[in-house]
Amino acid sequence: MDADYDIFETVAVIRDFWLVDAESYQRKYCTSHGQALAPGYYVVNWPEHIRARRFNDHAAFHGPFKLRKEAQEALAWMHKERELVLTRSAEISSVATLNVTPLEVKKADSQRLHLLKPQKLCKAVAA
**pLDDT, tens digit, for every residue of 71-122?**
999 999 998 988 888 777 666 665 544 566 666 666 666 666 665 555 555 5
Distance from C-alpha of 3 to C-alpha of 53, rounded to nearest angstrom: 8
Distance from C-alpha of 99 to C-alpha of 102, rounded to nearest angstrom: 10
**Which range is least confidently modeled, 28-32, 66-70, 74-78, 101-105?**
101-105
Q: Are 45 and 111 in contact (CB under 8 A)?
A: no
pTM exceeding 0.75: no
